[in-house]
Structure 1
């Protein structure tokens, strides 16, 4: 009997696929109430239950944990992986509910509906105090065109709004298909009447909208955040809302929650909801149904679609292929950070004895490593190809006989609309992973740690100027690799550091004469 514990008030109707299956038993209740935790094979949770290392130790026969929702912050992924527990989620179940909530917030802030409602409940009839604005004819700026941003764009067009999008990875073809106008972040801020954010919260997107760039927005702009707290700088918001530059702000998420004491929510031109964008009966049903079907698939020994961590592979080939899988994952991360343009295609070529093995795992590892910093959900080896299709670019692999003198070589090439970027790497027994070529430049370095990739003119003194600058700033270089194609032409430097560098150091390097570009890469 495959026993499933459904905790955190999971919608029972959504678990019907499991309830009907012979050989599967579904138990409803909290983890604290289970008398025989060793009998549980699968655990379904929402956000209330914290799946910790200790809980997994107590339920030590669990083979799969399902989060009936998108975020997995309440699950210790590392602990689960170490115990061989597969973690899955339901990334698509609340797309519509969040998009609709965002749209409702836009309409509510434009028409001052919450304020008018409160006024009439207080016995007032001040019609002139609640003159609103129409969405028709307005410019809606969407930051991040993932699943939710895409659904929002569809609805906005139906209201005769002009939709413009800032998304560094949006291709021209996809923008044309979705009937949106791709723009830079500055252009979006300067020309949008309403701005809504739909990106994941990362180091790059934290305080993406801040004091400096809010000054570029229109007088009377409206801002919406139903994505993640922290994308909008709350201190900057308060200042611009208080001085009237921002006409109104609608917030469903905050840096610290519950946000009942947040001073933003008490401003008259702010409407707020308690992180409920995904809280609809339909969304809760959808996420329950998604994870129920995934658990049923898993119970039959088949691969699942929405795995968050890497499922164990027991065949003999796994031990042979795994070093290349890890190399490919890091190579994908390197490529993603090195190439910021929209993507049309990724090609991966294998040469050497690796072609005798199933390289599918390696390819998926590279793709998931590449995609993870670029999308607003967990990416893994199972769903990476589907997400690539969503993002509008193709992905393929082929075999070659050109090993460049190594036992095995993996080449990954990212092709954009106007440029491309290639990386060749290998794994040497006893030495580990190495990157041996970047964009045609021969090199040899370990792809790990904190790196800076510099393109420069091959002239005397350039390397010395970089070294002197870093020395003056008391920044220690752990390792350096250089490469060139011909004397006096273009050249590269790859510097490795013991810790992450401040952005002002990177800016100082970029300002040096004969330095063409400098990019930080953290692996």
Structure 2
């Protein structure tokens, strides 16, 4: 199969060389397009690559009926409609690590430029004016740096600032006391940072919680002469409040690489003498551009060919090691969803998933999504996948609950699911057995040992002599070979369960004949994608 990839923004050609040279991929680079122009050509593309310029809207995603992946060659995904992508089952990936060094270094460059008035001094001297007295700066040494958002970039800035001799205080709701202590960082709230910091830099995503986190109240409480740096996302610092603070001389200056609107139009802010600006250059280094392009190129190939997801924004993120360890359980969870929906007469309105053992310690969301996607697929077709499975489930008003417990007797790891509607209940249990692989080991009250195969027959019946022979004669007459058979029963002559792995599908005619065998109460055929 040939996969089509559309590159809509300029990216490093060396970075996407794996896609360009791969025999299974057709890569088209077409930059600077409008939304309407993209909609005209997008229909049969499997993947899109963008940076920050092109906006991927719901209209584009809805038109791209073959689209599987939207790749952002960078960190922020503000220009991608994540909700629409999730709704239509499209994976959105980014490259969160590729520009870490570049953004960290640009933050320090902006801080130094701001502290020593480098841009204005350069401008004057390049125009022939020698004016040393007008550009008296401040040292970083001994100053307090406040960091709002201490992820990889925030920590990188902190370490470099400490080398300059700066004291570092920081706010991040996920920064533990232990991590702060070992990093030499003092934890403070945002308003406390405003009171003590000489420099403040922000390194958070733009969310409803972080939008305008540095705004009017921050400036009212800030230390006189404060200098601000934003190389993260426009909108974290409220630009209107920032301009007012600059006009009122409440702060010493600001260095901005990102803006609420890009390209920015607020020329009063851009041209203010105490403001240093760059046109969103945080990730614009040769090394960073190549790293992020390589990262998303490799992940596009992994997703389209191996279903391996590492840096998805709208799906569980899994390292390659965890993905390998959980893959057998992802497979059995998927098979359980398919078996469960085919054994029920109508879809469930309640689902309870239980995870036991070591897998309960891991992030089980991929297992949950795999189960639900397979369960929904008979009704929604290929439009449902692990990305939008929970969305589809919510749309159908089906409730689900996940429970995690310690090891259960007999299994290192065990999955169990209960499906229920107004008329019926179904329980399935499964595990992955060393040396034997995936097994469904429980079906309602019966202990079973069903290996997921392409064709399975499940029969509830009353145990009686000769019933297996009657069944075998009908299957033999219709040229259906039994690969393996399991029998579970409650007691002699009581309720029993037959499960058969077959070499071929049972015809409708044969199913009718089986259903009228004396003692057979329910005959269900299950087909799996193996």
Q: TM-score range by the shorter chain?
A: 0.5 to 0.7
Separation (CA, whole Å) in 1 of partners of 2:336 and 2:108: 50
* Bigger Cα displacement from structure 2, 120-129 vs 173-182: 173-182
Separation (CA, whole Å) in 2 of partners of 1:226 and 1:23: 38
Task: Specify whether residues 127 and 21 from structure 1 end up closer, same or farther in structure 2 by C-alpha distance, changes over 3 A only.
Answer: same
Residue equivalent to 1:317: 336
Residue equivalent to 2:251: 246
Residue equivalent to 1:166: 171
TM-score for both structures, normalised by structure 2: 0.59
SS at the partner of 2:125? helix
Separation (CA, whole Å) in 2 of partners of 1:255 and 1:366: 38
Task: Specify whether residues 216 and 365 from structure 1 end up closer, same or farther in structure 2 by C-alpha distance, changes over 3 A only.
Answer: farther
Separation (CA, whole Å) in 1 of partners of 2:189 and 2:303: 43
Separation (CA, whole Å) in 2 of partners of 1:146 and 1:70: 12
How far did residue 165 of structure 1 move?
1.0
SS at the partner of 1:315? helix
SS at the partner of 2:406? strand
SS at the partner of 2:212? coil
Residue equivalent to 2:12: 11
SS at the partner of 2:16? helix
Contact 2:357 2:406 in 1 (8 A): no
Separation (CA, whole Å) in 2 of partners of 1:182 and 1:353: 38
Alignment of 1:501-512 (within 5 A): none
Task: Give the one of 260, 268, 272 matched to 2:273.
Answer: 268
Residue equivalent to 2:523: none
Residue equivalent to 1:295: 300
Count of residues in correspondence between the two structures: 359
Residue equivalent to 2:406: 399
Separation (CA, whole Å) in 2 of partners of 1:194 and 1:12: 38
Task: Specify whether residues 157 and 77 from structure 1 end up closer, same or farther in structure 2 by C-alpha distance, changes over 3 A only.
Answer: same
Alignment of 1:179-258 (within 5 A): 179-258=184-263
Task: Specify whether residues 51 and 217 from structure 1 end up closer, same or farther in structure 2 by C-alpha distance, changes over 3 A only.
Answer: closer
Contact 1:317 1:357 in 2 (8 A): no
Task: Specify whether residues 320 and 223 from structure 1 end up closer, same or farther in structure 2 by C-alpha distance, changes over 3 A only.
Answer: farther
Task: Specify whether residues 51 and 270 from structure 1 end up closer, same or farther in structure 2 by C-alpha distance, changes over 3 A only.
Answer: closer
Task: Give the one of 46, 70, 92 matched to 1:87.
Answer: 92
Task: Give the one of 105, 109, 115 matched to 1:110.
Answer: 115
Contact 2:358 2:407 in 1 (8 A): no
Alignment of 1:427-438 (within 5 A): none
Separation (CA, whole Å) in 2 of partners of 1:18 and 1:320: 37
How far did residue 156 of structure 1 move?
0.7
1:67 aligns with 2:67: no
Deviations 1:424-447 (A, max 9, x none): xx99856xxxxxxxxxxxxxxxxx
TM-score for both structures, normalised by structure 1: 0.60
Separation (CA, whole Å) in 2 of partners of 1:20 and 1:129: 55
Task: Give the one of 70, 74, 77 matched to 2:82.
Answer: 77
Larger Rg: 2
Contact 1:7 1:29 in 2 (8 A): yes
Alignment of 1:119-134 (within 5 A): 119-134=124-139
Separation (CA, whole Å) in 1 of partners of 2:53 and 2:89: 23
How far did residue 16 of structure 1 move?
2.0
SS at the partner of 2:297? helix
Contact 2:71 2:94 in 1 (8 A): yes
Deviations 1:73-132 (A, max 9, x none): 333333333333222111222222211111111000100001111111232111011111
Separation (CA, whole Å) in 2 of partners of 1:5 and 1:200: 26
Contact 2:356 2:405 in 1 (8 A): no
Residue equivalent to 2:22: 21
Deviations 1:464-515 (A, max 9, x none): xxxxxxxxxxxxxxxxxxxxxxxxxxxxxxxxxxxxxxxxxxxxxxxxxxxx
* Bigger Cα displacement from structure 2, 352-361 vs 266-275: 352-361
Contact 1:363 1:397 in 2 (8 A): no
Structure 1 residue runs without a partner (length 5+): 323-350, 369-379, 382-395, 402-407, 411-425, 431-523
Contact 1:145 1:167 in 2 (8 A): yes
How far did residue 194 of structure 1 move?
0.8
Separation (CA, whole Å) in 1 of partners of 2:191 and 2:163: 26
Residue equivalent to 1:140: 145
Residue equivalent to 1:438: none
Task: Specify whether residues 305 and 321 from structure 1 end up closer, same or farther in structure 2 by C-alpha distance, changes over 3 A only.
Answer: farther
How far did residue 246 of structure 1 move?
0.9
How far did residue 146 of structure 1 move?
1.1
SS at the partner of 1:62? coil
Residue equivalent to 1:101: 106
